[in-house]
Amino acid sequence: MPKIHIPVIEYKQGGRQMLVTAMSPTEVVRMVSKPEAWDPVKTTAHGNRPRDAQHLQGIVKYLTEEEHFVLGAAVLYLTTKEAKFTPIPVPDGVAGEEDAATVGFLSVDIGAKFDIGDGQHRIGAYENIVQNRDEEGDLVMERLRRSGQPLIIVIEDDPKRRAQDFADLQRNVKAPTQSMGQSMDRRQPINRCLNELFESVPLFQDRVEYFKDNPGKLSAKLFSFKTVRYTSGLLLVGNGYRSPSTMDKAVNGKFEGTVDSDAAAARAQVEEFWTALGELVRFADVVDGGLPVAELREATYLTSAGVLYAIAYAVHNAVKSEQMTITEAVRALDTISFDRAPKNAAGETILPVTSEDTIFAGNLINTETGKLEAGRTAWESAGALLVKAIFDEVLNGGATVPGQASGESVPA
């Protein structure tokens, strides 16, 4: 039977023959079979999970927009009848018998199709682009034709063994935390902005956690990158976006105006907010070195993500009224106690928690348990109270703004 010959590097893993190579994405699309649905009863094909259309389209968007793209290796399968490896003799001294890798050619029957083990969304994205962008001179297609998709080809006859490989691959991969992934992603302007400010804003200096999304109780870090990022986003665009992707687009759009001053203005707003926040009494104590972060966390709610979101939400709406600056709005918060609800001699929160104990009772703080509540409903409710407090202090010298007692809205 006629064969095609693919240059590969052969190695063994777990006693099985595996081969590494790279092929043009257009060739990969042509040579893979359509994944079958996973069915543990079947014995003729190992199957795969259903394709996630949204995830696939995300990869399509990435490939079409990013010139310097990078995608990891896909894992493909062939049977012992379909493929054979032939090593290439190498000069003396170049390789030894103990080397893990051997260079050679993989001979594959013409018409044989690769079975996709891991990487169906990557290959599906290539397929989508190839099918929808076939115009002569298309820059995306030219980029793909010049590129290679790395492949790990496993010679394995048993469908169940192939399915086990998929389970093992997922189990042995650990995704980075959102904080770490976001801080490394410098394509997004908001991430670049924050990374630059971490060196200049006193509150940030060596107090942002990158490796965890929630700093521990005794951590010397004030808040995670994820929390700082979302708080900054709320400051810039408010809370009108219900999905992370649409909010990201709106936030990054603040840095992508028609003139350079747009980006400068967004950066200045974020810098002003975090600088002013660092001047609040309790944060200032930390910045000055008089109060350890762990003690601030133990005594107040200020390091809670929900409280920071509520503050940013409140400041955004206060400044939107055009009656005060970011700094004025933040400084007005010094009139509010962010101390935790009182505790008894045993160190337990005295229940029920009331509004006299903390402004966050019944919104961010569960009155019956004393625990912090998660979710935007909680911090939005808290933020609404903070907005009222800011207007009371800045516009009325601490007097009640008409309508606040009845829950009516304040200028925004």
Alpha-carbon gap, residue 127 to 111, rounded angstroms? 18
Count Cα neighbours of 165 within 13 Å in the Cβ-side half-sphere. 27
pLDDT for 194:
97
As beta bridge partners, residue 362 has: none
> Are the CB atoms for 353 and 367 separated by under 8 Å?
yes
Alpha-carbon gap, residue 323 to 75, rounded angstroms? 59
> Are the CB atoms for 105 and 6 separated by under 8 Å?
yes
Alpha-carbon gap, residue 308 to 297, rounded angstroms? 13
**Cα angle for residues 312, 313, 315 (degrees, 5° grid):** 65
Alpha-carbon gap, residue 141 to 129, rounded angstroms? 8
Q: For residue 32, give the 3-state DSSP assignment.
A: strand
Q: pLDDT digit string (tens) for 86-132? A: 999 877 766 556 688 999 999 999 999 999 999 999 999 999 999 99
H/E stretch holding 110? none
Burial 130-160 (b: 16+ CB within 10 A, else e): beeeeeeeeebbebbeebebebbbbbbeebe
Q: What six digits make up the tokens of 216?
A: 């521990």
CA-based Rg of the chain, rounded to a whole angstrom?
29
Alpha-carbon gap, residue 223 to 305, rounded angstroms? 8
Count Cα neighbours of 342 within 13 Å in the Cβ-side half-sphere. 9
Predicted TM-score of the model (pTM): 0.85
> Are the CB atoms for 341 and 350 separated by under 8 Å?
yes
pLDDT for 402:
34
Amino acid code (one letter) for 314: A
Contacts 24+ apart (CB under 8 A), 344-348: none
pLDDT for 209:
97
Amino acid code (one letter) for 374: A
Alpha-carbon gap, residue 94 to 78, rounded angstroms? 29
pLDDT for 134:
75
> Are the CB atoms for 331 and 279 separated by under 8 Å?
yes
Task: Please give the full DSSP string across 240-306, using - where no structure is assigned.
Answer: ---SHHHHHHHHHHTT--SSHHHHHHHHHHHHHHHHHHTTSHHHHHHHTTSS-HHHHHHHBSTT-HH
Alpha-carbon gap, residue 22 to 8, rounded angstroms? 8
> Are the CB atoms for 254 and 237 separated by under 8 Å?
yes
Of 33, 203, 228, the closest CA to residue 112 belongs to 33
pLDDT for 260:
67
pLDDT for 321:
93
pLDDT for 400:
46
Phi then psi dihedrals of residue 367, to 5 deg:
-65, -25
Q: For residue 53, give the 3-state DSSP assignment.
A: helix
pLDDT for 99:
80
> Are the CB atoms for 115 and 33 separated by under 8 Å?
yes
Taking 70 as the pLDDT cut, the residues of the chain under it are 43-44, 93-98, 258-260, 398-412
CA dihedral 280, 181, 55, 117 (to 10 degrees): -150
Q: Longest C-alpha distance within the chain, in Å?
A: 91
pLDDT for 95:
57
